[in-house]
């Protein structure tokens, strides 16, 4: 089955700096890669996603890049703010007929210091 | 508000007790999922249901059973709870191919003592 590895497990930055979280996946048939943000005690919320026919996608201060050849994708947050502090999860879907099943990375705890 | 509703929000069980976690969605989604979240291990899939009447095992199904009661409801049952099942449980739903990702419920924090 699909295996998703996420790094780093913790990331500490100063307000205004950029943050980058990287994920690798194993299933070459995967074609959908979402990113979720989870604030303390809350449910995960989808913040951005990318499909395999696109190399990069941006939404204001966040962007995601995908390298299908190397099977890795990354989340980039620019001009970080204290409210960006949360746990971030990457995920990849299962290939073939496994419908919408997502495999998640282990999570990155991002702390933005004012 | 449209979304995914989970009950209960908190539960403490004694080892060996049973309980059912309830999940309902009003988004007309075909697929529903149960995940558990443990520190440092991300979200791991317990069971999923691609459509009404079908269920399949995920990564960590041992000790759990599920029922897809109808299109809206997907329950998770612990027949004989163990301390290793202490976790936060999330239900989620999506269209058949998760084209727009998952919508998660608010979670159930379960402690087994």
pLDDT at A98: 60
Could you read off the pLDDT of A68-112 as tens digits, one per residue?
A: 999 999 999 999 999 999 999 999 988 666 667 899 999 999 999
**Closest residue to B42, CB basis, from A1, A43, A107:** A107
Chain A and chain B share a number of CB contacts under 8 A equal to 65
Chosen for mutation from A25, A47, A100, A104 (greatest number of chain B CBs closer than 10 Å) is A100
| Position B97 confidence tier, pLDDT thresholds 50, 70, 90 | confident
Nearest to B89 by CA among A39, A104, A43, A4: A43
B105/A100 Cβ within 8 A: no
Average pLDDT over residues B82-99: 92
* Average pLDDT across chain B, whole number: 93
Angstrom distance (rounded) from CA A39 to CA B58 = 25
Q: Closest approach of chain A CAs to the CA of B73, in angstroms?
A: 17
Average pLDDT over residues B100-105: 91
Q: Closest approach of chain B CAs to the CA of A87, in angstroms?
A: 10
- A81: three-class secondary structure by DSSP: coil
Could you read off the pLDDT of B35-61 as tens digits, one per residue?
A: 999 987 889 999 999 988 899 999 999
Contact at 8 Å (CB) between B25 and B49? no
pLDDT at A96: 64
Angstrom distance (rounded) from CA A14 to CA A17 = 6
Chosen for mutation from A43, A59, A91 (greatest number of chain B CBs closer than 10 Å) is A43
Largest CA distance in chain B: 40
Angstrom distance (rounded) from CA B112 to CA B44 = 19
Contact at 8 Å (CB) between B46 and A103? no
- List Cα–Cα distances, A35 to A50, A90, A102, B17, in angstroms: 9, 5, 11, 36
Interface of B with A (CB under 8 A): 31, 33, 35, 40-45, 48, 50, 58-59, 90, 94-102, 104-107
A1/B98 Cβ within 8 A: no
Q: Within A28-98, where are the H helices?
A: none
**Closest residue to A43, CB basis, from B58, B97, B106:** B106
Per-residue pLDDT for B4 more than 80? yes
A106 to chain B: which residues are within 8 Å by CB? 40-42
């Amino acid at each position: 089955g699909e295996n998703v590895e996420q790094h780093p497990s913790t990331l500490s930055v100063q307000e205004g700096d950029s943050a980058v979280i990287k994920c690798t996946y194993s299933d070459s048939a995967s074609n959908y890669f979402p990113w979720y943000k989870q604030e303390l005690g809350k449910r995960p919320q989808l913040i951005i996603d990318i499909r395999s026919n696109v190399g990069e996608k941006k939404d204001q201060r966040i962007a995601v890049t995908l390298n299908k050849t190397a099977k890795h994708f990354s989340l980039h947050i620019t001009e970080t703010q204290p409210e960006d502090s949360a746990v971030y999860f990457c995920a990849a879907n299962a290939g073939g007929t496994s419908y919408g099943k997502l495999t998640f990375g282990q999570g990155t705890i991002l702390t933005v210091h004012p | 508000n449209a979304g995914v509703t989970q009950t209960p929000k908190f539960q403490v069980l004694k080892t060996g007790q049973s309980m059912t976690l309830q999940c309902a969605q009003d988004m007309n989604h075909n697929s529903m999922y149960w995940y558990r979240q443990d520190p440092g291990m991300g979200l791991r899939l317990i069971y999923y249901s691609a459509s009404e009447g079908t269920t399949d095992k995920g990564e960590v199904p041992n000790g759990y059973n599920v029922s897809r009661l109808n299109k809206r409801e997907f329950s998770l049952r612990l027949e004989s709870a163990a301390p290793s099942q202490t976790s936060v449980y999330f239900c989620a739903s999506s269209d058949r191919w998760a084209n727009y990702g998952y919508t998660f419920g608010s979670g159930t924090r379960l402690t087994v003592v």
